[in-house]
Structures are given as structure tokens and as C-alpha cells.
Structure 1
Amino acid sequence: MVKKEFPDEEEIVFCTVDKILGTSIFVKLDDYEDKEAVIHISEIAPGRIRNIRDYVVPNKKIACKVLAVDAASGKIDLSLRRVTAKEKKDLFEEHKKEKDSAAVLKIWAEQAQLNFQEITEKILAKFEKLSLFLQDIKEDPEKLKQLSINKKQEEILLQLIKERVKSKKIELKKKISLSSKAENGIVLIKNLLKLTKPAKVTYLSSPFYLLEIEAGDYKEANRLLEEKIKILKENAKQKSVEIEILE
């Protein structure tokens, strides 16, 4: 699988604080080969900031939202204050899951007499994450054939997965407002919401609805959620429906 060289705008990224210079924080993007990115003081927290170190210090792990990416110059601007508590929690859980997955694979490499570095590189060439690999194998063991390993090595990994890998999904939610002044407004809104399948839509109270997406990891869930929101926005106008995306 080809890994992206740069993150997308609006993406939530896992970072390590590198240094603080003046009114800027320089961080390394853990999932993008430690590429450097910058957080301006205005994007650290709401209100006036007297001391940046009250919020971050070198080597601290933080979750940030990507504001802008200039691939030509390599400049990446981030925001710390625009990340919600839910987004931060999900991202940190995802990274813990990745760390735990690496631990499982290290045990497997030792027991199956495999080179840990080589086998993880082979896995990441075909799967986006180690945790997704383990989940996929748990659901469909036949996918192990992609690694060209022997039967005994397959059996060892399947047993470890059975013992140590739990089936867990990441769920993301977004509150939206939908309204229409048309006589058949309710029908128009219902037809619009059909476009979000297989996402779950819950009616809260007029004009509010809750859009829910479930996936194997945070990035995939966020991608699917943004995709459904884009579909709603693109089709709302032609269906005479007013839409507002809320937190």
C-alpha cells in the first residue's frame, strides 16, 4: 500500500513536540516520517496565552488538526486548539492500538523465527496499519496468504490473534441541522438522508439529526464521515434543503 507523503487538510495527526521558538511550536509528525510542522501561538488555545509551556513542552505527544499543507515547500501548519476532546481521545486510542499490535507481532516474529523488521515492512506494504492487518486476519485468515509464510507460522499468528486481538470499532458522530421550506420538506429531507447509507442517522429534535459512522480505525471512520457530509452538502441545495454541520 502506498503511504501518503503529506497529511490532508483537516486531518487529525499525532505529533511529538520538538522545540519552542518564540511564538511558534515545532513538532514532528509521527505518522509521516517525522516531517516537521508548525503551530502558531494563536492556534494553541482560545484566549490570551502568557506562557506556551503551560500547554506544551518538548517531547510531549499531542493531537493536532492540519490547517494547510504546501507540498512544494514542505510547510505544514497545524492547530492544537481546534481538536475536539473526542478527536484527541480517538487518535490516542488508535496509537495505543498500533503499539499493542506491534507487540503482538514481535511475539509472533520470535515464536515463528521471523525477522520482526522485515515482516512488519512486508505487512505495511499491503496494509495501512499493523492493527488493521491483525483485524483483517481475524475476520479473514485467508489474507495471510499474501505474506507467503509457511503453515506453522500462520498457525502461530492465528493463535496469538485469537488470544490477544479484540474486535473493536471506532465510532464517530456528527450533529447536523436539516430544514426545508418546501411543502414536502420532510420527504425531501428523508430522501437526502438515504444518501448517507450505510451510516446510521438518528432523529434528535427538529431540525437536528445525528450522523454516526463505525470503522476499524479513526482515520477510516473520519474519512467515511467526511465523505457522507460532502454528499449531503452537494445534494442539499438541489433538493431544496438547508444544511448546517454542527459539532
Structure 2
Amino acid sequence: MKYTGWPDPGELVVGKIDEIEDFGVFVDLQEYDDKRGLVHVSEVASGWIKNVRDHVSEGQISVCKVLDVDESTQQIDLSIKDVNDHQRSDKIQEWKNEQKADNWMELAFGEDLESEQYTSIANELLGHHGSLYDGFKQAAIHGEEALDGTDLDESERDALVETARENVSVPYVTVTGYVDLENPSPSGVDGVRTALTAASGNGDVPEEVDLDVTYVGAPEYRIRVKAPNYKTAEDQLESSAKRAITAIEGEGGTGEFHRERRTDDE
């Protein structure tokens, strides 16, 4: 996606160097439609510069800082030297992420997606999540909930979530807990199985969550939850344990949740 407006002073932009002169470097801004900036020779690198080409080359992708914008003359003054390595790395990664998201828009809505609809959908994601990439990322993690408050229709939401979950790699965390399930009542082992089925969620666990219940050693069972973030993981772990305990108590047994595995002499 390319923005139609103008960058702001102080903003970091990605540019492709398309012309080099003795007095400076012309840069085609990759994130803006039909916008070109100038890096004066004094802003190319620190210290005295004998030959600009010793520092940059045509076709090079550079991260620049916007020094000044004059819309009346369509002049954008840029600096390369004012961008440190950390800023450069983060901005390039951000730009690459937006390129990925741009491709995902095509996957979600087809190559024939009209520019007006593209802009409408993109603006909703930008307005609620700050970038196309973050919009897709949140849709991958939280599903349609991430699109609450937007003006996207149901078909657009479905397409975004489906595409996001097929293409976005999100970080996951894993938490583990244990439940002791004992059932001296007549239902015995069958009652324990009922509790374990309840712990597994009966199919009601969110799509982005992987919940696994395994046998450790009587009467202990391990609950392992993999989720996009710790809050979701901890909430699902707690809910799983509560379901198991409620179910076993309903069978006439007892249940107890703990975070660490018990040793034989405890």
C-alpha cells in the first residue's frame, strides 16, 4: 500500500535512490505515491564527502529521515546520516511487513480488487491497528474480535481472518499446570474420563489456542496450553482446570489444581 499524502517532518521513510548528483541524492519514496525527496550531500554521511558515490549507489534502498516538507514546491528534504542502525533495521522490517500485508490483501480479495474497496478496507485496518500488517496479525490471533468496531462487512471480516490465519506467523507462549482427579464414587474411571473431556473443552476452545491434557501418574494429569499471549494462555489453563474439577465433583469425586508437578513423597 502506498500513501497518497505527504510524510511528516521527523518521520522515517524507505526510499530507493534513483539519481545521484554532486550536490546530493534523489530518492523515490517507496511508501508514498509519486513522492520524491532530496538528500543534500551534507546529509548523506557524517564528515567530509569527496565522492557521493562512495556512500550510495543507484537502486539502493535506504531509510531516510524527513527533515522538511514544502508542499507548495513539492520539496521533501531528507537525511540518511541522521538514521542510526537500530532505526534503519526496524524501519526496513516494518516496510517488508507492509509489503507482505499488501500481498495478503490480494490473496484475501483477489487480484481484481478495486482500488476504492482496497483503500476502504486498508483504512479500517490502519485506523484500528496502525498498519495493515498489525491488522492481519491481530486477526490471526483474535479472529473477528480483532475487527470489532470497524465498518468492515461480514464477508470482508471472514476473508481477512481466513487469510491471516493461513499466512501470518504469530509468536506463541506455552503454560502448564496440573490437576489431581480422584473419584472413589461408583462412576470411578468413567467419571475421571468425563472430567478429562471437560478439561479438554468439549470443542469450545478458541481456534488460536492449542490445549492438551495428558496423564502423568495417578491421580495427576497435565494441562498444557499454547496460545498467542500469556493472558490468553493463563485464562485457558485456569478454565480447563475449573472445568475438570467441576466435572469430577459432579461425579462425586475431588479435584485440585496446582502449577508444579507433584513428587511421590509429597
Distance 1:96 1:163 in 2: 18
Q: Please give the per-residue CA displacement for 1:57-101, whole angstroms capped at 9, x wherever unaligned.
A: 222211011112222222211110110100000010001111111
Structure 1 contact 123–130 (Cα < 8 Å) conserved: no
Structure 1 contact 12–64 (Cα < 8 Å) conserved: yes
Partner of 2:165: 162
Choose which of 111, 118, 121 in structure 2 pairs with 1:120. 118
User: Cα offset for 1:7?
Assistant: 1.6
Q: State which drifts further: 49-58 or 89-98.
A: 49-58
Distance 1:84 1:96 in 2: 18
Structure 2 counterparts to residues 193-208 of structure 1, below 5 A: none
Distance 1:109 1:88 in 2: 32
When the two structures are aligned, how many residues end up with a matched partner? 162
Q: Is 1:66 the counterpart of 2:57 in the alignment? A: no
Distance 1:127 1:34 in 2: 23
Q: State which drifts further: 35-44 or 83-92.
A: 35-44
Structure 2 counterparts to residues 1-247 of structure 1, below 5 A: 5-110=5-110, 115=113, 117=115, 119-128=117-126, 129-138=131-140, 139=142, 141-142=144-145, 143=147, 146-150=151-155, 154-167=157-170
Question: Residues 88 and 136 of structure 1: is their aligned pair in 2 closer, same or farther, counting only changes over 3 Å?
Answer: same
Runs (5+) with no aligned partner, structure 2 = 172-266
Structure 2 contact 24–44 (Cα < 8 Å) conserved: no
Q: What SS class does the counterpart of residue 103 from structure 1 fall into?
A: helix
User: Cα offset for 1:141?
Assistant: 1.2
Q: Please give the per-residue CA displacement for 1:199-227, whole angstroms capped at 9, x wherever unaligned.
A: xxxxxxxxxxxxxxxxxxxxxxxxxxxxx
Q: What amino acid maps onto 1:141 in structure 2?
A: E
Distance 1:162 1:116 in 2: 23
Distance 2:11 2:41 in 1: 20
User: Cα offset for 1:30?
Assistant: 1.8
Q: Percent identity?
A: 28
User: What TM-score does the superposition give when structure 1 sets the normalisation length?
Assistant: 0.57
Distance 2:162 2:133 in 1: 16
User: Cα offset for 1:34?
Assistant: 3.0
- The alignment yields a C-alpha RMSD, in angstroms, of 2.6
User: Cα offset for 1:116?
Assistant: 6.5
Q: What SS class does the counterpart of residue 65 from structure 1 fall into?
A: strand
Q: What SS class does the counterpart of residue 14 from structure 2 fall into?
A: strand
